[in-house]
Amino acid sequence: MDRLANLSNTMSERFRETGEWQGTALDLWLCLFFQHRIHRHTGSEDIDPALDALCDALWHALNRLDCDEASAIASRLKQDAF
């Protein structure tokens, strides 16, 4: 979990500095997962514009993937799920 937390914290800090989420589709996906967990476990029900921006960045990154990249991410997610 430390690697995921570090990734998310680094990406969040960069977002606060630049106003843009940056990273690969997989990094953005992992960051969104971690950020959502934070909100869920802290009981936060506030709408967070940063999470909306993260969802948008992920959507754009996923849409830019070619077939091989999409297959590689899907395969990796299946492997790491267990």
Owning domain of residue 6: 2-80
Q: What is the pLDDT of residues 37-72, one digit of tens each?
A: 888 777 777 778 999 999 999 999 999 999 999 998
Residue 80 has pLDDT above 80, yes or no: no
The DSSP secondary-structure symbol of 53 reads: H
Domain count along the chain: 1
Q: What is the pLDDT of residues 13-30, one digit of tens each?
A: 999 999 999 999 999 999
Q: What percent of the chain has pLDDT over 70?
A: 93
Global pTM exceeds 0.95: no
Rg (CA), the chain: 13
What does the block give as tokens for 34? 């971690």
Task: Give the position of tokens 């998310």.
Answer: 8
| Residue 26, H or E segment | helix 25-41
Task: Give the position of tokens 């950020």.
Answer: 35
Residue 44, helix vs strand vs coil: coil
